[in-house]
């Protein structure tokens, strides 16, 4: 049950539309609790009730069609949230004290799901909206202190969240040992390059690289020696392809992959020869290559290169 709950929570956090539903629903609950707990609101009560209704409607819309909405609509979602919070915070001092803190939610959402520039723009827009609220609508004592308290907290929270998200994004796409892209990033890039080759009618080649007798290195010299060898090879190979438009990733264990856009069979074999040449003395690799035939999928292309790699490994053992 614990694992299932964690998976559900992770799913909610990963999907910005699901998070938007939670934020809108939470804002509606916050507004309703303030409405029910306050007295003598009169006209402001109608404004706050309308705000709550809009939040509920927004939550229902995003919940119903969120997965079908284009990504740019997240900007609209966050803009609507900022407007609703501003309207609620402008109702009066008693309501303001309880609901202005929701601006921090805007900052957190922006840090979670937006790139730096859009996030800064949304947080800045929320800060400007709060200035307007304090200037014309809320009659709050010491408005400068109120603004600094809310947006000081919002900015610090957003910076922490954005830093954590950046680390998680990088580690989810990068092999921590060699600092090369990992298998997930490789699969995405292979599909992208194949689609580009199909669209532009350009060649695409792929190489699968496996270090010979790597297990022996680990057994004889220890895992630290094996890790050092992987890092040394990754650094050397990365130096060859850096700036060339080629793409290398660690696929797992002692296996690496190389994508070579605009390279035909001759071109990929020339690259492979250079990879062999810079390998440390006493270290050999089995490398299989394949060039896209214009029809096969990325998985089929990889399979051909992988089979060629195992064929090369068998020939080395038989020699």
37-66 per-position pLDDT tens digit: 766 656 677 788 888 899 999 999 988 887
Q: Whole-angstrom Cα distance, residue 42 to residue 58? A: 25
The answer to whether residue 123 is domain-embedded is: yes
| Sequential DSSP letters for the chain | -HHHHHHHHHHHHH-HHHHHHHHHHHHHHHHHHHHHH--S-SHHHHHHHHHHHHHHHHHHHHHHHGGGS-TTHHHHHHHHHHHHHHHHHTS-HHHHHHHGGGHHHHHHHHHHHS-HHHHHHHHHHHHHHHHHHHHHT---SSHHHHHHHHHHHHHHHHHHHHHHHHHHHHHHHB-TTT-SB-HHHHHHHHHHHHHHHHHHT--EEEEEEEETTHHHHHHHH-HHHHHHHHHHHHHHHHHHHTTTT-EEEEEETTEEEEEEET--HHHHHHHHHHHHHHSPTT--EEEEEEE--SSS-HHHHHHHHHHHHHHHHHHHHH-
Q: Which residues pair with 289 in a beta bridge?
A: 207
Assess whether 224 and 130 both reside in one domain: no
Assess whether 298 and 168 both reside in one domain: no
Instruction: Say if CB 208 and CB 306 are below 8 A apart.
Output: yes
Q: Whole-angstrom Cα distance, residue 22 to residue 45? A: 23
Assess whether 187 and 154 both reside in one domain: no
- What's the confidence (pLDDT) of residue 170? 77
| pLDDT single digits (tens) 65-114 | 877 778 888 899 999 999 999 988 887 656 666 788 899 999 999 998 99
Assess whether 129 and 264 both reside in one domain: no
Assess whether 200 and 165 both reside in one domain: no
Assess whether 257 and 165 both reside in one domain: no
Assess whether 25 and 160 both reside in one domain: yes
Assess whether 206 and 163 both reside in one domain: no
- What is the domain range of residue 109? 2-173
- What's the confidence (pLDDT) of residue 278? 85
CATH number of the domain enclosing 288: 3.30.70.270
Which residue, 133, 149, 173, sits at the end of a domain?
A: 173
Catalogue the active-site residues.
254
Q: Whole-angstrom Cα distance, residue 295 to residue 155? A: 50
- What's the confidence (pLDDT) of residue 1? 45
pTM attached to this predicted model: 0.65
Count of other CB atoms within 10 angstroms of residue 56:
17
Q: Which residues of the chain have pLDDT under 50?
A: 1-2
The answer to whether residue 211 is domain-embedded is: yes
Specify the number of domains making up the chain: 2
């Amino acid at each position: 049950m614990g694992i299932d709950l964690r998976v559900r929570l992770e799913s909610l956090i990963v999907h910005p539309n699901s998070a938007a539903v939670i934020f809108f629903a939470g804002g509606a609950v916050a507004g309703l609790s303030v409405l029910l707990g306050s007295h003598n609101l009169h006209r402001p009560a109608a404004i706050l009730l309308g705000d709550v209704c809009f939040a509920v409607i927004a939550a229902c819309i995003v919940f119903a069609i969120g997965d079908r909405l284009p990504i740019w609509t997240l900007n609209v979602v966050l803009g609507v949230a900022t407007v609703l919070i501003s309207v609620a915070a402008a109702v009066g001092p008693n309501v303001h004290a309880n609901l202005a803190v929701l601006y921090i939610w805007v900052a957190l959402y922006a840090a979670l799901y937006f790139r730096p520039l859009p996030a800064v723009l949304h947080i800045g827009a929320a800060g400007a909206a709060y200035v307007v609220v304090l200037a014309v609508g809320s009659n709050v004592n010491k408005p400068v202190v109120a603004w600094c308290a809310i947006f000081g907290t919002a900015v610090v929270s957003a910076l922490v969240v954005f830093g954590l998200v950046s680390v998680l994004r990088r580690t989810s796409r990068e092999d921590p040992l060699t600092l090369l892209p990992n298998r997930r990033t490789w699969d995405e890039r292979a599909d992208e390059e194949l689609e580009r080759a199909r669209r532009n009618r350009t060649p695409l080649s792929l190489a699968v690289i496996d270090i010979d007798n790597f297990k022996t290195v680990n057994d004889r010299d220890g895992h630290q020696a094996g890790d050092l060898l992987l890092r040394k090879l990754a650094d050397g190979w990365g130096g060859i392809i850096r700036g060339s438009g080629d793409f290398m990733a660690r696929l797992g264990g002692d296996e690496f992959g190389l994508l070579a856009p605009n390279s035909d069979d001759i071109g990929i074999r020339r690259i492979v020869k250079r990879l062999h040449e810079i390998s440390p003395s006493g270290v050999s690799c089995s490398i299989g290559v394949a060039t896209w035939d214009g029809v096969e999928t990325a998985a089929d292309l990889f399979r051909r290169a992988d089979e060629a790699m195992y064929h090369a490994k068998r020939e080395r053992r038989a020699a």
